[in-house]
Amino acid sequence: MGDCFCYIYGTVIVIWFAALTLSLYGGLVAIFNHGIHLRGIALLCNTVLCTSVLFVISDAGQRVCQEMGTNFCGALYALRLGANKEVKQELNFFRYDVAMNPPVISLGGYATVNRNFLLSNARELFDKYDANADGRISLFELRNLITSENYAQDLPDGAVHRILKRADTDQNGYLDYPEFKQMIESPDWQITIQEAVRHYIQYTVPRRPVISVDTVDTGDGASGDLVYEDQYSFWPPPLGMLIISIAEIATFLTDLCNADTMMADGPVATKLLFTPYKRYEAWRFVTYMFVHVGVIHLVVNLLVQLLLGIPLEMVHHWWRVLIVYIAGVVAGSLATSVTDPYTRLAGASGGVYAVLLAHIATIVMNWSEMKWAAYQLLILLVLIIADVGTAIHDRYFTDREQSIGYTSHIAGALAGLLVGINVLRNLRVKSWEKKVWWISISVYILLMLGAIAWNIFYDDYFPKP
């Protein structure tokens, strides 16, 4: 059933992404043609239509899968599988996470059911780990459950994770039976999706700590610390990098369809890219990030934004990652204008390198806590070397007027270190770290103010329009 939901949501999200891209394309066509026509209106309607379809299909899919699970549980009960006469009732709230531990029973590709899990009973489990028989499970007793040799036969990892994170609804340090039962009745599709995301993020981003760690009285003479939580979240939704990526694709497609060019010289690109001859159009210091020279240039930036940027947004929230990204974009254009004043600038490399270097700093600072840290670092370094090498080659060894300035890569990376050092780190905040953060942000601001002043007061340094 979890796979069914992943398929439903994955398919609809892909359709919605494509529709939104087409909608932005229609809007850009309308804007740059100075009017609204039927094609633009039709494309703009796609977003509303597909967003509505997203909610309709999601709700319908959930109802179908729930009904399918209920029917299957009824069939098992009718066949009297297992020794427990209340198998049907137990399956209804156990089925969400039974695929965690073999041996398993296949449900025709929709899910699998653990045999031991089918025969277990919620009340028996509760009483088993309620060591002092007071009708409540303390967090100390729950820790004994987790560290016991046979706990995996009773509760899967996903269930234990949910107990620790959410089950203590009244936050009194204990789980009573209603809280325990409510926890194991949660829908299976939420666990399936969250587990997949959690594993990907654990291999990509080190965890941030909870703000405080409290000690609780277990009621039996022992005490224990509350555990750290995984600090990723779907809310607020990680839309920053997604929206920027859609805008970049829409800009690229608009020029490709209307001017049949991929070399940043179409009608949209010429209004957005940074050029030293139009420095008075201040928006170009930022909007150049939407313009790309060629498919490879676009795809590389999109891969980093989506595969790295979105996990970072889920851990640190989208606005923090966006701050680092925009800081890199602005640093890239200002640095290029000062150090390479005759070069045009296109692409999101300044922002991408800001996020990349901020993340690399996070990997180095938390090396022992990262999974596959060495492989991550190696892959990122290879990507950076190849991209910067290509940019340098295009700058000095090609005749293209729209060659990409490599200075933005370096400036964006520096901005990522200076601005992202606090935003994307996950260590406990220490006094010296606060001082480093203030020094870093002060250096960034001074460098940006210096570059802005250079652009304003040294006009003779730059080419004339």
Tokens matching residue 326: 């925009």
Instruction: Kindly state the helix (H) or strand (E) to which residue 114 belongs, with its residue range.
Output: strand 112-114
Q: How far is CA 434 from CA 194, 342, 448, in A?
A: 33, 39, 21
Measure the CA–CA gap between 194 and 196, rounded to whole angstroms: 5
CA atoms within 13 A of residue 349's CA, in its CB half-sphere: 28
pLDDT in tens, 83-102: 444 444 444 444 433 333 33
Out of 48-52, 108-112, 412-416, 452-456, least confident range: 108-112
pLDDT in tens, 281-327: 999 999 999 999 888 889 989 998 998 898 888 878 899 999 999 99
Residue burial 343-375, b: 16+ Cβ < 10 Å; e: rest: bbbbbbbbbbbbbbbbbbbbbebbeeebeebee
Stretch 420-443: mean pLDDT, rounded?
Answer: 73
CB 119 within 8 A of CB 83: yes
Predicted pLDDT at 136: 77
Predicted pLDDT at 118: 39
Among positive and negative, which fits the CA dihedral 211, 428, 205, 291? positive
What fold does the segment set 84-232 form as a domain?
Recoverin; domain 1 (1.10.238)
The residues that are catalytic are 349, 409
Taking 50 as the threshold, does the pLDDT of residue 4 lie above it?
no
CB 308 within 8 A of CB 376: no
Measure the CA–CA gap between 161 and 167, rounded to whole angstroms: 9
Q: At what angle do helices 122-129 and 139-147 cross, to 10 degrees?
A: 100
Tokens matching residue 351: 């922002």
Taking 70 as the threshold, does the pLDDT of residue 162 lie above it?
no
Predicted pLDDT at 81: 42
Predicted pLDDT at 46: 53
What fold does the segment set 240-461 form as a domain?
Rhomboid-like fold (1.20.1540)
Measure the CA–CA gap between 87 and 356, rounded to whole angstroms: 51
Predicted pLDDT at 57: 43
CB 330 within 8 A of CB 395: no
Predicted pLDDT at 361: 78
Q: How far is CA 264 from CA 374, 404, 407, in A?
A: 36, 10, 18
Instruction: Kindly state the helix (H) or strand (E) to which residue 286 belongs, with its residue range.
Output: helix 284-287
Taking 90 as the threshold, does the pLDDT of residue 427 lie above it?
no
Measure the CA–CA gap between 372 and 378, rounded to whole angstroms: 10
Tokens matching residue 128: 């088993």
Residue with tokens 């601001």: 445
Tokens matching residue 340: 């390479």
Instruction: Kindly state the helix (H) or strand (E) to which residue 23 belongs, with its residue range.
Output: helix 2-32
Predicted pLDDT at 263: 80
At 80, is the pLDDT very low, low, confident or very high (cuts 50, 70, 90)? Answer: very low
Map residue 227 onto helix, strand or coil: coil
Out of 179-193, 336-350, 387-401, least confident range: 179-193
pLDDT in tens, 246-291: 999 999 999 988 877 788 888 899 999 999 999 999 999 999 999 9
Among positive and negative, which fits the CA dihedral 26, 234, 157, 129? negative
